[in-house]
Structure 1
Amino acid sequence: MQLLGTLPTQPATAVTVQDGAAAIGEKAIAVGAGSALVMGNNTGIIQLLIQQGTQPGATAQQMRSAYLAHLVGQLNHFALSGETGASQIRLSSVYTALLTERAEDVALAQRQMEKAPPLSAVEVMNRESHLVLLGGPGSGKSTFVNIAALAMADELLGEDGLGLGLAWLTAPIPRARDEQEDKDKESPKPQRWDHGALLPVRVVLRDLAAQLPAPGTPITAQVVWNHIARNLRTNKQDAFEQPLLGELQGAGGLVLFDGLDEVPDADTRRVQIQQAVETFVTAFPRCRVVVTSRTYAYQEQQWRLNGFADVKLGDFTRAQIHGFVQAWFGHMVELARMSEAAAQDGAERLTRETDHNPSIGELAMRPLLLTLMAQIQTERGGSLPENREALYDRAVDMLLNQWENLKVHVRDDGTRVVLPSLAEWLKSSRKDIRAQLNRLAFEAHRDQPKLEGTADIPQGQLTLALLNASNDPNVMVRQLEDYLRDRAGLLSSQGVGRYQFPHRSFQEYLAACHLTDADFPDALAELARADLNRWREVTLLAAAKAATGSKSTVWELSTALCCKGRDDSDADRHGALLAGQVLAENVELRNVPERRESHLALMRDWQLKLLRHPKLLAQERALAGCTLAELDDPRPEVTGVDAMQFCFVPAGAFTMGGESWDDHSLPVHPVDLPSAYFMARYPVTTAQWLAFVNDGNTPDDTDSLGVRSNNPALHVTFHDARRFCAWLTRRWRDRLPAGWEVALPSEAEWEKAARGGDRVPVVPQPVGIDAITRVLGQPSGALQPNGNVQRVHPWGDDFDAERANSIEGAIGQTSAVGAFPTGASPYGCEEMAGNVWEWTRSLWSTDLREPTFKYPYELTAKREHLDAPDDVWRVVRGGSWFDSADSLRCACRFRFLPGGRGSFLGFRVVLRRSPV
C-alpha cells in the first residue's frame, strides 16, 4: 500500500528524559521539566492511519484513528516557523506548560500565609468542566488548545502515536536552573488530570462565524455540529460524523472553542457566538468544554458565558522561560540545525539575557516574543539586541523573510512549481513594501476602536497597500490575495478576509516607524498629547528608533510633547508624563549637555507635579514616580535620611480593632496611649535604606539593594528594620529630644496613626527631625474631634483604588512614595494602606493561625518583646500592592516570621520615648 507522504530515511534520534534533563545522542542538554520531546518519529504511521481511515469500507475504529491521526498531524507544527517538511519545528518539542493566575487563589494563599501556588492550565481544566481561558494576543491561548487536542489524540492513538499523550501533557511544571540545582527542594509533581484521554474536538470560532446565518438569527447546537461535520467532509472523513456524534453524546469528549471574541464583527455576532457555545454545551452534557478569549473583552459583562468558570494565563515565569529556552535549543540539535556545543552556548546566552537584561526579560515573559527571540538567535546568531526597538526591528525583518522566502507549490498533477517572493511578485523593492506596511499599521492603530489587542485589517486594505508599493500595473488582485492568504509572516490571515499582525506590539512598532518618517516629532507629539493611552507605546518605540540616529531627536520629541510649565489640560499633563519617560528610557542622564539642563529640570518639576496630581489616575501617578526616580528624584525627605518627615500623633484615646474574625481584630475597643509620638510620613525608601547599607551595615537580603530609589525599601527582615532604627537613633542622638528613640511602631501606635484618635489635627503638618522638640512644646489647640473614630481605611469607610496602591489599582508593583496623597491618614501619614506591608514590633504567636496576643490590646512590655525567638510571628500592618481592599483596612492584622522578606514587605519608623 502506497503511503501518503514519505517515510523518514533515517531512524528518529533517541531522546531520553531523566531528572529534568534531555539526553540527545550521547550529549545531555538540560531541559526544563514539562517541555516536550518527541519520543520517536511515527510520521509515516500517522499518514498511513489517515489513508486507511478515509478509504471506502473503513471500519469505525479505522475512521476514529484517522480522525485522531489527522489532528496529530495538523496540530504538531510550529506556526511561526513558516517551514514545511521533515525539518519543520514541532510544537510538541518546544511547548512549555502554561500557568494561570486567579485573584481569589492568590488572595486565599496569602491569607493562609502560603506562597501562592499558580495552577497550570491543565490543572484548571481538570478542576473546571466548563472553562474560559483568558489571555492577551501571544499569551498561548490557542497554543494550549492545540496542545490539549494533540495530547488527547496522541494518547488515544496509543502505540501508533508520537509517544506523547497524557504523560507528556501533565509533566511537572519547569523549574528555573537554580531551582533544579537545589537538592533540598521536593521533586516536582505532575500536573493533575483525573479524566483520562478524552476524544478532542477543536472549533475555531472565527471559522464558525463565517458560516453563521445573518446576525440576529438564533443559533442552536445543530449549527455548530454542521460546522464540525463540514470540516470532516473537507478532510474526507465524512463517514466518521455519526460515530463522532455518538461518542460525544455517550462517553463525552473534550471540546475546545478557540477565540470567543476574535471573530470578525465580534460585537454584531456576539449573541450568536455565545448561543453557539451555550447550546452546544447543553446538547452535549458529558463533554468537558474549554473556550479561549481575550482578557479585556471577557471582562465586559455582555461577553460572559453562563455556567463557565474563567481563569487568566499568566506571564512566563523565570522557570518557564528557562524551560522553553532549553527545549528550543535541544530541538535544534534534534533537527540537526545546530551542533550540541552551539546549542549549549545559545541556550546559555539567551537564558543569561532574559535573567539579567530587564528589557529582554520583560519581553521574554510573553511566549510569542520569547519564541521570536529564540528564532532570531538561532537563525541570525550573536547576542540579542539590548532594547525593544532593536529587537522588534530584527523580528519584523525575520517575519518579512517568511513572506519573501521562495515557496514550492505542488499542483494537482504532482508537478512542483517554485512561487516567487513577494517583492518579485509585485516587482517592487523590499523598502517600498515595508513603507506601505508601516503606513498600514499606523492607520490600523489610529482607527482601532479598542485600545487592546491587534486590529483586524480587511483583506482589501492590505491588498491596496501592497498594490501601492508595486511597480507592476498588471498584478492580478485575486492572485495576490491567494498569495497572502497562503503565507504566514508579518501579517497572517485570520479567516474571512481579515489579517492581523502577530501581536499588538508589532502593530505599534510599525506605526512608530511610519511616524518617525512623517513630520517627526510634531505629528507624533500631537497624537500622543491628544490620546495618551493609544499612542504611549508607539511614542516610546519611535523615540528609541530615533535615538539610534541621534540623541538630539529624543530631546526634540520630549520638547514637542511638553508645554513649559503649563497645566491647562489633559493634553499638557499627558504630554509631560510621556516626555519624561522618553528621556528616561533613551538618554544617558548622568552626562547631560549643559544646554539641556533647563529642559531636564523642567521634566523633574513636571513629574513632581504629576506624582500628586488629583486629575491623574493612580497608574499614571505611579508612572510619574518611576520616571522621577530615573531623572533623579529631588525630594530630600524621600531620598535622604536626615530630611525624613514625621507626623505628630498626640497622646490620648483611640478606637482599636475591627469586625473580622479572619484577622482576629475583634472586639472593637478603646485604647489610651499615654504618650505622644511621631509616625514617619512615608515608609522607609530604598534610597534611605542604601544610606544605612553604605554606612557599613550588611542587609539580610541583597535583593533589597536593587529596588527603585524612591520606592519603599523591600526584602527587609524584621531584624534589618530593627538595626536600621538603632542606626538612626545613634545618628540622631543630638537631634532627638532627651530620652527619645527611633523604633518600629507597635500595633497600637500604627493603628492610631492610620485611623486617628479621638482628636485629630485640623490641618496635618509633617515636620523634620529638628522640629520635633518645638512641636512637643506647643499647645494642642489645633486639634479637632475625629468625625469617624472607626473609619475602615485611613481616608474613610469606602474603599477607593485611587487612594492606595492595591491589587484593584492594577499597578502591579510598588510605587514611589507620595503618589497617593488623597489616601493620607488624619495625622498626615501617607500610604499606610497599600504599597507595602509594614513591620511592627508587636508579637502574634508561635502559631500561625491562632494568636497568643489577642484583643483587647494591653499595653505590656511582654506584647512588644523585641528579643523574642525567631519562631514567634510578628504583626505586620497596612496591606500591599499585591492585596485587595480587605487587607488595606486600618484594623487588619497580618503576620510574618522575623526572617520573612519579599517584594511586598517594608517598614516605617516611629519617634517615641524610650521605654523605662
Structure 2
Amino acid sequence: MKKRTWLIAAFLVLIPTLFLFWLSWEVQPALPAPWNNALIILGLVVAGVLAALSGIADTLQIAERLGGRQAADRDGEEAVPQVGERGIHVGGAADVVISGDDNVVLVLQQASQKFLDTLSRPEPDLAEASRRYFQFLLTKYRNLDFRGMGVSDRLPLRLELLEMYVPLQARIERPKGETWVRDLRLAGRKPGEEEAEIIGERVSERPVLELLQKHSGLIILGDPGAGKTTFLKYLALLLALGQGEALGLGPRLPVLLPLSDYANQLSNGNVPLDTYIETYYRQAVSDNGEFPVAKLLQTALAQGRALILLDGLDEVRQEHLRRTVVDRVEDFFALQKQRGNKFVLTSRLVGYKEVRPAADDLQECTLMDFGEEEIAQFTRQWTRAVARAAHGQTKQAAFDAAQEEADLLAAIHKNPGVHRLAANPLMLTILAVMKRQDVVLPERRVELYEQYVKTMLKHWNLARGLGKRQAHDLDVVETVRVLAPLALWMHETSPGKGLVKEGAMRRQLTQIYRDRGVADPEPVARQLLEDTHKETAMLLERGMGQYGFIHLTFQEYLAAVGIAQKGQLGIEPVVQSLAARIDDPNWHEVIQLTIGYLGIVQGYETAASQVVQSLLAQKPGEAGQVEVLMGMTACDVGEHGLTPACRQAVVDALLAAIVDDERVTAAQRAAAGDTLARLGDPRPEVMDVDAMRFCYVPPGPF
C-alpha cells in the first residue's frame, strides 16, 4: 500500500482515539449514571472496531507482500519473491525484504493453497503434503551450487538462484522464408555436422519460457554449461513459491527428475514412468510413511496440474536404454498432455538424433550462448548479490558492487578470447568466482586460460545434472601433460569443431601413455577419460560415441601447450608445426597461444622470440599473413613475453608489409597497418601531427 494511504489511515485512527481519551478524562466523570457507564461501553466498542480495522489493514499489507502483489518494478515486470537466508526477498519497486523463518513458512502455505485451489475436491491431507513438498524443493534448489569451482571457505557464497538467474534465449526451427540471422556458436565453436543436422534451420530466437508457455512439451538442447539444468531448477523454485501466474503457467506441481536414474531403474526391470516418479519422490521427500507424496503426485497428474521436468537424456549412456527411456517418455507425454500437464526434457545435441522423440506439440529448441545483454545482466546481478552477502543492504555494498561490476566487465571485454568464454553461462560463473576470490585476472589470455584449466582440474568434481557427486583428486601437472598432446591431435582431426569418435580418442590416448613409458597404458587411458568426464567435465562425452572439450577455448589452449612441449630440446619442431598452419584460420588462436605459453607461462621469452623471428624469416603462407599474425601475438603477450629485439623485428616486418604493394594484398596491408597501430607505430609522420606531411587542396570541385 502506498505511503499516503497509510498516513491517511493513521490520521483516521488517531483522531477518534484522542477524542475518546478526552471523553473518558473530562466528560465521563461528570455524567450521572447510567450515562457514564454507557459512554464507557461506547468507547470500548469504538476502540474494538478501530483495532479490528487496523488488524485487517496489517493483514492485507502482509498478504500483499507475501503474495508478491507489490507494484511492478521499473521495467514493468511482475515482482517475483526470492528466498534468502532467513526470509523472502520480493523484487520490484518496493524491494521489500520480509525477514524471518516464519514468513518463509507463510509463503509456502500460500503457495500450497494456490495450488490446492486449482484442484477439484482435494483431500484434506494434501494441504500439508504440498507444503512439505514445496519446502523440499525450496531447500534443495534455492541456492546456486559452487562446489568444485574453487570457492574458498572464507567466502560465504550462498547466493539465491532466483536472484542470479538470467533468462535464456533459444533458437527454434526456421519458418519458411527466413534466413540465418547470425552464425550459431556452441561453447565457442561451430556446430559439427550431426549437431547442424539436428539444429536444422533454427534461427528464430525466443525466450525459452515463452516457448514453454505456448507448447505442451519442450525439448531443450544445448552444450554443457549452457544452463539447461539451471532453467529446470528455476521453474521448480518459482512454482514452489506460488509464482505460476508470473511464469505464465498457472499454479502447478513441479516434478524434477534425472533421467539417468530412471534408466538405471529400467535396466533392472519394467518400471512405468509414473511409478518411478512416485518412488523417487517418496524416497527423496518422505521421512516416514505418513507423508502422502504419491497421492499428491497422482492428484496433480490426474487433474492436469503437473510440470514434469526431465533432466539429462544425454546422461543415459547406453543407446538401447536411451531409446527405451524416450519411448516411455513419449507414451507418458501423449497421455498426460491431454489432461493439461506440461513437460520439459533436456539433452545435449550429439546423440540426440538417434533417439529423437516424435509427438504433437513437442517443441524443440537449442539454447544460445549469452550475448552482450545477458553477460551484462549476469555481471550486475552477481556483483550485487555477492556484495549484499558480505555487507548487507548498505551503501558500502552498493559501492563495492558497482566497482566489481566495472572491473569484471572490463576483464571480459579486454580481449576476444575471454569474451568467448564468458558467452557460456558456466564459464562466466567460474570467471566471476575467480575474480571474487581476489585472483587477479591476467590481461593476457594465455595466463587466464591456464588458471581456468587448473581451477577445473583441481577443484571441479561438480556433477552437471541432478545425480550424485563423486570426489577424486587429479594430478594437475600430469593430467595437463597428457591432455595437451591429446588436444593437439583433436585439433588436427577436427579443427574448429572439436568432436572426435570415442574409439579413435581412446587409441590416441593409449598411444600417448605408451610413448610416456606406461607399461599397461589402456587401463590408465580409460581411467583418465573417466576422471576428466566425471570429476572435472573438462573432457566429456558430447553424445553417442563422440568426445570434446567443454569449450573450444580449452582445446585450443591445450593444443598450444602440446606444440610448446615439442620444443623442450629446441625450437625447430615448434617452428615447423606453426609454419605449416599459418594459412589456416582455425589455427591462428593456437599459434598465438603457443608463443604466449612459451614466453609468459614458461618464462622462456628468448625461445618465444626465436620462434617469432624464425617465422618472420621463413615467411610461410600468404604474403603478409605471418607479419600480421606475429604482430597480433606481440600485442597479446605484451612487453615481457618477447625480447625488445624481437618486438622491433615485428615492427620492422609490419612496416615493410604496409608498403609492399606488389607482393601483399590491400586487405593484408590494411590489417598490417591496424596491427602496427595497436603495437605502436614508430613513424613520426604518422603519429606526430607536427611531423605529418600535408598537401594543399584548392577550393572548388575536384
Query: Smaller-chain TM-score range?
Result: 0.5 to 0.7
* Matched residue SS, 1:228: helix
Q: Distance in 2 between matches of 1:469 and 1:59?
A: 66
**1:240 and 2:293 correspond:** yes
Cα shift readout 1:790-820 (whole Å, capped 9, x = no counterpart): xxxxxxxxxxxxxxxxxxxxxxxxxxxxxxx
Give the 5 Å matches for 1:496-515. 503-515=551-563
Letter paired with 1:130: G
Shift of 1:196: 0.8
Query: Could you say which residue in structure 1 is the equivalent of 2:368?
Result: 314
**1:290 and 2:344 correspond:** yes
Shift of 1:303: 3.8
Query: Could you say which residue in structure 2 is the equivalent of 1:200?
Result: 254
* Matched residue SS, 1:235: helix
Q: Distance in 1 between matches of 2:99 and 2:498?
A: 41
**1:364 and 2:413 correspond:** no
CA gap of 1:273–1:326, structure 2 versus 1, over 3 A, is same
Query: Could you say which residue in structure 2 is the equivalent of 1:231?
Result: 280
Cα shift readout 1:542-590 (whole Å, capped 9, x = no counterpart): 3432342456766766799999788xxxxx79xx999677535412499
**1:586 and 2:586 correspond:** no
Cα shift readout 1:173-205 (whole Å, capped 9, x = no counterpart): xxxxxxxxxxxxxxxxxxxx4321322222333
Check whether the contact 1:321–1:365 (CA below 8 A) recurs between aligned residues.
yes
Q: Distance in 1 between matches of 2:538 and 2:311?
A: 22
CA gap of 1:257–1:393, structure 2 versus 1, over 3 A, is same
Normalised to the residue count of structure 2, the TM-score between the two structures is 0.56
CA gap of 1:118–1:440, structure 2 versus 1, over 3 A, is closer
Shift of 1:244: 1.1
Check whether the contact 2:219–2:363 (CA below 8 A) recurs between aligned residues.
yes
Letter paired with 1:290: V
CA gap of 1:289–1:364, structure 2 versus 1, over 3 A, is same
Shift of 1:289: 1.9
Letter paired with 1:451: K
Check whether the contact 1:206–1:495 (CA below 8 A) recurs between aligned residues.
no
Check whether the contact 1:524–1:539 (CA below 8 A) recurs between aligned residues.
no
Query: Could you say which residue in structure 2 is the equivalent of 1:91?
Result: 161
Query: Could you say which residue in structure 1 is the equivalent of 2:443?
Result: 386
Check whether the contact 1:134–1:313 (CA below 8 A) recurs between aligned residues.
yes
Q: Distance in 2 between matches of 1:304 and 1:577?
A: 52
Query: Could you say which residue in structure 1 is the equivalent of 2:672?
Result: 631
Query: Could you say which residue in structure 2 is the equivalent of 1:542?
Result: 594
Check whether the contact 2:574–2:611 (CA below 8 A) recurs between aligned residues.
no
* Matched residue SS, 2:241: helix
Query: Could you say which residue in structure 2 is the equivalent of 1:70?
Result: 136
The structure with the greater share of residues assigned to helix is: 2
Q: Distance in 2 between matches of 1:310 and 1:348?
A: 37
* Matched residue SS, 1:138: coil
State which of 442, 448, 452 in structure 2 corresponds to 1:395.
Answer: 452
State which of 379, 385, 394 in structure 2 corresponds to 1:331.
Answer: 385
CA gap of 1:332–1:526, structure 2 versus 1, over 3 A, is same
Shift of 1:287: 2.0
Letter paired with 1:74: K
* Matched residue SS, 1:77: coil
Q: Distance in 1 between matches of 2:261 and 2:662?
A: 51
Check whether the contact 1:516–1:546 (CA below 8 A) recurs between aligned residues.
yes
Q: Distance in 2 between matches of 1:497 and 1:126?
A: 34
State which of 497, 512, 520 in structure 2 corresponds to 1:451.
Answer: 497
* Matched residue SS, 2:390: coil
Unaligned runs of 5+ in 2: 1-69, 85-89, 113-123, 182-202, 463-469, 519-524, 639-643, 676-691
Give the 5 Å matches for 1:473-552. 503-519=551-567, 522=573, 526=577, 538-548=590-600, 549=603
| Structure with greater contact order relative to length (CA < 8 Å, sep ≥ 6) | 2
Query: Could you say which residue in structure 1 is the equivalent of 2:26?
Result: none
CA gap of 1:546–1:523, structure 2 versus 1, over 3 A, is closer
Check whether the contact 1:93–1:331 (CA below 8 A) recurs between aligned residues.
yes
* Matched residue SS, 2:597: helix
* Matched residue SS, 2:308: strand
Give the 5 Å matches for 1:293-304. 293-295=347-349, 303=356
CA gap of 1:389–1:98, structure 2 versus 1, over 3 A, is same
Check whether the contact 1:604–1:631 (CA below 8 A) recurs between aligned residues.
yes
Query: Could you say which residue in structure 2 is the equivalent of 1:180?
Result: none
CA gap of 1:515–1:75, structure 2 versus 1, over 3 A, is farther
Shift of 1:96: 1.8
Check whether the contact 2:628–2:654 (CA below 8 A) recurs between aligned residues.
no
Letter paired with 2:438: R
CA gap of 1:491–1:310, structure 2 versus 1, over 3 A, is closer
Shift of 1:17: 9.8
Check whether the contact 1:49–1:62 (CA below 8 A) recurs between aligned residues.
no
CA gap of 1:361–1:404, structure 2 versus 1, over 3 A, is closer
**1:121 and 2:208 correspond:** yes
CA gap of 1:518–1:98, structure 2 versus 1, over 3 A, is same
Q: Distance in 1 between matches of 2:227 and 2:451?
A: 22
Letter paired with 2:553: S
State which of 122, 145, 153 in structure 2 corresponds to 1:79.
Answer: 145
Query: Could you say which residue in structure 1 is the equivalent of 2:433?
Result: 375
CA gap of 1:301–1:351, structure 2 versus 1, over 3 A, is same
**1:250 and 2:303 correspond:** yes
Letter paired with 1:587: A
Q: Distance in 2 between matches of 1:224 and 1:538?
A: 47
Letter paired with 2:167: A
Check whether the contact 1:138–1:503 (CA below 8 A) recurs between aligned residues.
no
Letter paired with 2:240: A
* Matched residue SS, 1:284: helix
Q: Distance in 1 between matches of 2:560 and 2:92?
A: 39
Q: Distance in 2 between matches of 1:118 and 1:205?
A: 27
Q: Distance in 1 between matches of 2:101 and 2:615?
A: 60
Q: Distance in 2 between matches of 1:259 and 1:253?
A: 19
CA gap of 1:207–1:452, structure 2 versus 1, over 3 A, is farther
CA gap of 1:136–1:337, structure 2 versus 1, over 3 A, is farther
Q: Distance in 2 between matches of 1:245 and 1:494?
A: 35
Query: Could you say which residue in structure 1 is the equivalent of 2:408?
Result: 350
CA gap of 1:435–1:283, structure 2 versus 1, over 3 A, is same
Q: Number of aligned pairs? A: 524
Query: Could you say which residue in structure 2 is the equivalent of 1:140?
Result: 227
Give the 5 Å matches for 1:17-96. 19=74, 40=99, 42=101, 59-82=125-148, 87-96=157-166
Check whether the contact 1:258–1:291 (CA below 8 A) recurs between aligned residues.
yes
Letter paired with 1:331: A
CA gap of 1:117–1:211, structure 2 versus 1, over 3 A, is closer
Give the 5 Å matches for 1:893-912. none
Unaligned runs of 5+ in 1: 1-14, 26-30, 156-164, 171-192, 406-418, 471-476, 567-571, 613-624, 635-693, 697-727, 735-916
CA gap of 1:357–1:508, structure 2 versus 1, over 3 A, is closer
Q: Distance in 1 between matches of 2:356 and 2:417?
A: 34
Shift of 1:387: 3.8
Shift of 1:358: 4.7
* Matched residue SS, 1:256: strand
CA gap of 1:318–1:496, structure 2 versus 1, over 3 A, is closer
Q: Distance in 1 between matches of 2:343 and 2:136?
A: 21
Shift of 1:378: 0.7
* Matched residue SS, 1:309: strand
Cα shift readout 1:328-374 (whole Å, capped 9, x = no counterpart): 12221332279624333212222344456555444333322221221
CA gap of 1:420–1:346, structure 2 versus 1, over 3 A, is same
Give the 5 Å matches for 1:159-170. 165-166=243-244
Shift of 1:379: 0.3
Letter paired with 2:421: L
* Matched residue SS, 2:146: coil
Give the % identical residues. 22
Letter paired with 1:396: V
Letter paired with 2:304: A
CA gap of 1:434–1:98, structure 2 versus 1, over 3 A, is same
